[in-house]
Amino acid sequence: MNHPIVVLAGGLSHEREVSLASGRRVAAELRALGREVVESDVDANLMDLLAGLDRPVVLPVLHGGTGEDGALREALDLIAAPYVGSDATACRLTFDKALATPVVVRAGVTAPRRVVLPHDLFRELGAGRIVDQIVARLGLPLFVKPAVSGSALGCSRVDQAAALPQAMVNAYNYGRVAVIEQFVVGTEVAVAVIDVGAGPRAYPPVEIRPDSGVYDWEARYTPGATSFVCPADLPDPVLDQCRAAALTAYEALRQRDYARMDLIVDPGGRPVFLEANVAPGLTETSTGPRAVEAAGASLGEVFGQLADQAARRGYPA
């Protein structure tokens, strides 16, 4: 099976450059294995491109916006173009942190206590009173993030109540809803979950050690700004718990093929769910490729298998 693989990267989100870097890397690794690869952005030529190929398979490597919110998958479903990754419904659920976290919590995974606040309500009720109530309920420190953004854009740690209004404004710059949650101190890990046909498998957890102490945009995408340890430097039983939590979240969110779960292990050794990602980065500084390599595989092999699996779904014999 050697269907042309159309790697979609770029888009118009704030994460365009990261997406392009992810696309270039996975395309190069697939070509190195002899796979036929076509690279494309999401534009007016995409539908004609797909129509002109012989039974293509789409590999979306788009971060943020239409790449992860289900819109692109919906369009691909309309033209019956098989693709790697979660379907539109799972993408919509996962991309919205205000909706995804309660689903994961109901499945039995711990998450920080939180408040979800739309910008309209924040403006109408007034920042002062709202801030007082949030701090009274959740305490300090806090972590504020947009409900529908990625790559730590619009995210802030808040150590003093006076800093909370500005942190919320920063989050609202990237979406109309902010999530304010307890800041959990601990070891940050990312767990890739991949299913190449035998059921979802949680890959070795990757420990994230940003030199600055904060895993923000610069720490994520500046080479050398963050150290990674894979598998994470945690006791084996805790690593097993991280894998189990990641698998539970993956299944609760009805994800497919591959995803990444971001967790933090608290001082008691308990994994705490932070968020999930249906189109995780595949750049030189991303955690997913490290986990794949630690498991004895290559990025090209894994995504080649995922593309073949998508082809079987879309072009049954």
Average pLDDT over residues 274-291: 93
Q: What are the b/e assignments for 156-194, b being 16+ CB within 10 Å?
A: bebeeeebbbebbbbbbebbebbbbbbbbeebbbbbbbb
Average pLDDT, the chain: 93
Query: CATH assignment of 114-182?
Result: 3.30.1490.20
pLDDT surpasses 90 at 41: yes
CA–CA dist 119, 48 (Å, integer): 40
Considering the domain delimited by 5-86+305-314, tell me its CATH architecture.
Answer: 3-Layer(aba) Sandwich (3.40)
CA–CA dist 241, 271 (Å, integer): 7
pLDDT in the model for residue 121:
86
Spatial strand order in the sheet of 156-158: 114-118, 177-182, 142-146, 156-158
Q: What's the half-sphere exposure (Cβ side, CA atoms, 13 Å) at 224?
A: 0
Listed by start position, the domains of the chain span 5-86+305-314, 93-97+185-295, 114-182
Average pLDDT over residues 227-249: 97
Say if residues 3 and 57 touch (Cβ distance below 8 Å).
yes
- Model-level pTM greater than 0.85? yes
Q: pLDDT for 88-143, tens place per residue? A: 999 999 999 999 999 999 999 999 999 999 998 888 877 777 888 999 999 999 99
Report the candidate in 167, 188, 186 with the shortest Cα–Cα distance to residue 178: 167
Beta bridge pairs of residue 192:
260
> Which percentage of the chain shows pLDDT scores above 70?
99
Average pLDDT over residues 72-76: 95
pLDDT in the model for residue 260:
97
pLDDT surpasses 70 at 1: no
Average pLDDT over residues 293-308: 96
- CA angle, 15 then 18 then 23, to 5°: 120
Residues 6+ apart with CB under 8 A from 144: 155, 156, 158, 164, 167, 168, 170, 171, 178, 179, 180, 181
Q: pLDDT for 244-281, tens place per residue? A: 999 999 999 999 999 999 999 999 999 999 999 999 99
pLDDT surpasses 80 at 216: no
The CATH number of 93-97+185-295, from 3.30.470.20, 3.40.50.300, 1.10.3720.10, 3.30.300.280, is 3.30.470.20
